[in-house]
Chains A and B, each alone.
Chain A
Amino acid sequence: MKIVLCVKQVPDTSDIKWTENNTIQREGLESITNPYDVYAFESALRLKNKYGNVSITALTMGPGQAEEMLRKFIALGADNGVLLCDKKFAGADTYATGKTIASAIESKISDYDLIVCGQFAVDGDTAQTGPSIANFLGIPQVTYVKEILEYSEGSVLLVRELDCGVETVRVKLPALICVLDNDFEPTRATINGIARGQAAKIERYGIDDIDLGVEQAGLKGSPTYVSKAFRAPQKQVECEFLTSCDDLAHQIKVCGGLCE
């Protein structure tokens, strides 16, 4: 089985700058791997360890520095890394990102069986890129995956955790899944793994390599755009500190509408 793991670096959200176009200035920001993508990786790795004959390709669209993240995943057990890197990809919304990643997968890794994504990215938190990739590839998707129960020829059995219930589904491959948080013990890199990660050749593709037009990528290919970005307003209240439980009990009753 051939797995494509879609991962993303996200900025450390304590220090955010925006460009003139009101998109995020990613260069120069501290980056971390999106935590949900780490969960996605752990799920993929469990499949690999359980079934053997499974390969994991870690793929990301991002700046050159994202290569380090791919090397880290290889150190932990992924087989190879693909970096989609081109100035023309910059400023992409989820639609253009989905289109770009789907084009890359289609033109470079067309014999994949399963695409594994994190359910959310903690920066944008849209949960849209996975489904968007699946749609462009014309394959089914399963989101909110809590557990991959089994892989059998041509399908996977999955547990989904939803608002009000837990669902068990089987989906035919090729398919895309979006993975929620899980309690897997985080895998640690071995010395050999780290060496393998450093030695690995990361495949790097730009817009001309993946059968994508300039008008389909980045800001140009994005139907949505940020018109305004501003600091979240804080509730404008002055906290009144109470010192007696009598006063506190009184305010609870008043605020809760429990007395006249």
Chain B
Amino acid sequence: MSKGILIYSEISADEYIHTVVFELSSKALELSAKLDNTPVMALLIIRPDLINSYKEAFRNCGFDKVFYVVDERFGVYKNDLFAEAAIQAVRQIDPEIMLIGATCQGRDLTPRISTALGTGLTADCTALDINEKGQLAATRPTFGGQLMATILCKKYPQMATVRPKVFKPTVENVTKDTAFIKLSVDLAGFESKIEVLDYTKKAVAEINTLDSADIIVAGGKGMKNEEGFALLKKLADKLGGTVAASRVAVEMGLASKDVQVGQTGKTVSPKLYIACGISGALQHTIGMNSATKIIAINTDKNAPIFDICDYGMVGDAFEIIPQLLSKL
């Protein structure tokens, strides 16, 4: 019988374990408690020389078992190679639930695994629970965030992807007697149809700061031009925060796509989100409405952003921000 909750442990291009893995393990511990403490497990697809250095990271996060498969070729992610390894491994592990981060790699890999195993997959979940029948109830926004749907699956494993930052990692260490188990998969005759010729990393400053920032100062179309975004940057620097943008601002070339918040951008949950010149379209707010506090500055007192914010000021951001800078 299928048993346990398996988390795919993505290793990023610069060889660290993606933080979403620990956000998922914290959620998995909660789910496991509702399933008679079914084991929480990880799957690592990894280059042989790296496995030992990763073991430590898994010991204090509540994993009962860490399964790993090794091959020299696993240093570079390729869809067909990783899918083949993962499918063989998941068949052996036979989990009842499998959770994967909805990163580019996760979204690329997971549908191959679910399809090959003949099971379903629920993408970009914002809530996971166990229902009265012991099934995974995966809730996700659809239709641009207008409707939430709770989805169940008739087959095993019940699979779901979750975007980074949707769940919080466990704060305290959960020490368990973690077992590390090597699985063997047969890839001897496997030849990838994909050849990776080049990989260029984006500027670190732009990618990571948004994920970990406590304060985000975000600008939309109302910030009009580069001067507007320079003001946001000044405000962010003063507060020790970072700048984000709406899709329209990104399309206007005022900010990089990496800092776009919303349905087709990032999901963020800072302590404070300051929205300047952003109307508050659902596609935007879906990516930031879990911020602890939201403050908005907008010339239009009827802008929908005011419906979801804690404090608001009606006025021209180009006048208000310079005044704020002198008062902070």
A224 contacts which chain B residues (CB < 8 A)?
Answer: 120-122, 151-154
Q: How far is the CA of A127 from the CA of B239 in the complex (A)?
A: 37
Of the listed stretches A39-47, A52-60, A66-74, A251-259, name the one at the interface; the rest are far from the partner chain: A251-259
Instruction: Specify which of A163, A171, A230 is in contact with B194 (CB 8 Å cutoff).
Output: A171
A223 contacts which chain B residues (CB < 8 A)?
Answer: 118-120, 153-155
Pair B264/A141 contact, Cβ less than 8 Å: no
Instruction: Say yes or no: A239-B137 contact (C-beta < 8 A), given A223-B154, A232-B147.
Output: no
Interface: B172 (CB within 8 A): no
Of the listed stretches A82-90, A91-99, A201-209, name the one at the interface; the rest are far from the partner chain: A91-99
Pair A227/B271 contact, Cβ less than 8 Å: no
Interface: A188 (CB within 8 A): no
Q: How far is the CA of A222 from the CA of B286 in the complex (A)?
A: 27
Instruction: Say yes or no: A140-B295 contact (C-beta < 8 A), given A125-B263, A164-B12, A224-B122.
Output: no
Instruction: Specify which of B13, B115, B123, B314 is in contact with A241 (CB 8 Å cutoff).
Output: B314
Interface: B230 (CB within 8 A): no
Pair B149/A255 contact, Cβ less than 8 Å: no
Q: How far is the CA of A198 from the CA of B63 in the complex (A)?
A: 60
Q: Which of A217-260 contact B (CB under 8 A)?
A: 222-235, 237, 239-243, 245-246, 248-249, 251-253, 255-258
Of the listed stretches B24-32, B35-43, B105-113, B175-183, name the one at the interface; the rest are far from the partner chain: B105-113
A233 contacts which chain B residues (CB < 8 A)?
Answer: 148
A65 contacts which chain B residues (CB < 8 A)?
Answer: none
Q: Which of A121-162 contact B (CB under 8 A)?
A: 122-128, 130-132, 134-136, 139-144, 157, 162
Interface: B313 (CB within 8 A): yes
B155 contacts which chain A residues (CB < 8 A)?
Answer: 223
Q: How far is the CA of A144 from the CA of B102 in the complex (A)?
A: 13
Interface: B56 (CB within 8 A): no
A2 contacts which chain B residues (CB < 8 A)?
Answer: none
Pair A228/B150 contact, Cβ less than 8 Å: yes
Q: How far is the CA of A157 from the CA of B103 in the complex (A)?
A: 23
Instruction: Say yes or no: A140-B13 contact (C-beta < 8 A), given A13-B146, A16-B146.
Output: no
Instruction: Say yes or no: A16-B143 contact (C-beta < 8 A), given A94-B111, A134-B112.
Output: yes
Give per-residue flags for B277-295: 1 if the beta carbon is below 8 A from chain A beta carbons, else 0: 0000010001001001111
Q: Residues of A within 8 Å of B, CB-based: how many? A: 72
A162 contacts which chain B residues (CB < 8 A)?
Answer: 104-105
Determine the residue in chain B with the shortest Cβ distance to A131: B111
Determine the residue in chain B with the shortest Cβ distance to A139: B193
The size bracket of the interface on B is 35 or more
Secondary structure call for the B interface: mixed
Give per-residue flags for A29-42: 1 if the beta carbon is below 8 A from chain B beta carbons, else 0: 00000000000000
Pair B202/A166 contact, Cβ less than 8 Å: yes
Instruction: Specify which of B105, B148, B214 is in contact with A229 (CB 8 Å cutoff).
Output: B148
Interface: B200 (CB within 8 A): yes
Pair A135/B112 contact, Cβ less than 8 Å: yes
Interface: A169 (CB within 8 A): yes
Pair A93/B120 contact, Cβ less than 8 Å: yes
Min distance, Cβ A159 to any Cβ of chain B, angstroms = 9
Q: Which 9 A-B pairs have the closest CB atoms?
A: A223-B120, A224-B120, A131-B111, A255-B293, A249-B327, A135-B115, A126-B123, A140-B193, A168-B198
A172 contacts which chain B residues (CB < 8 A)?
Answer: 193-194
Instruction: Say yes or no: A255-B272 contact (C-beta < 8 A), given A167-B198, A171-B194.
Output: yes
Pair B150/A248 contact, Cβ less than 8 Å: no
Known: A224-B122, A239-B308. 13 other contacts (CB 8 A): A13-B146, A125-B123, A128-B123, A135-B111, A140-B193, A164-B13, A165-B200, A241-B301, A245-B324, A248-B320, A251-B295, A252-B274, A255-B272
Interface: B2 (CB within 8 A): no
Q: How far is the CA of A164 from the CA of B141 in the complex (A)?
A: 25
Q: How far is the CA of A166 from the CA of B202 in the complex (A)?
A: 7
Pair A131/B122 contact, Cβ less than 8 Å: no
Give 28 A-B contacts (CB < 8 Å), ordered by A residue. Answer: A120-B264, A123-B143, A135-B83, A135-B111, A140-B193, A142-B194, A143-B107, A163-B103, A167-B200, A169-B197, A170-B194, A171-B195, A222-B120, A223-B155, A225-B151, A227-B131, A227-B137, A230-B147, A234-B308, A237-B309, A239-B310, A240-B311, A241-B312, A243-B313, A245-B320, A245-B324, A248-B297, A257-B272
Interface: B134 (CB within 8 A): no
Interface: B94 (CB within 8 A): no
Pair B314/A232 contact, Cβ less than 8 Å: no
B297 contacts which chain A residues (CB < 8 A)?
Answer: 248
A252 contacts which chain B residues (CB < 8 A)?
Answer: 239, 272, 274, 295, 324, 328
Pair A123/B142 contact, Cβ less than 8 Å: yes
Interface: A116 (CB within 8 A): no
Q: How far is the CA of A93 from the CA of B118 in the complex (A)?
A: 12
Interface: A175 (CB within 8 A): yes
Instruction: Say yes or no: A256-B153 contact (C-beta < 8 A), given A128-B111, A235-B289, A245-B323.
Output: no
A242 contacts which chain B residues (CB < 8 A)?
Answer: 311-313
Q: How far is the CA of A1 from the CA of B133 in the complex (A)?
A: 51
Candidate in B115, B131, B147, B271 with the most chain A CB atoms within 10 angstroms: B115
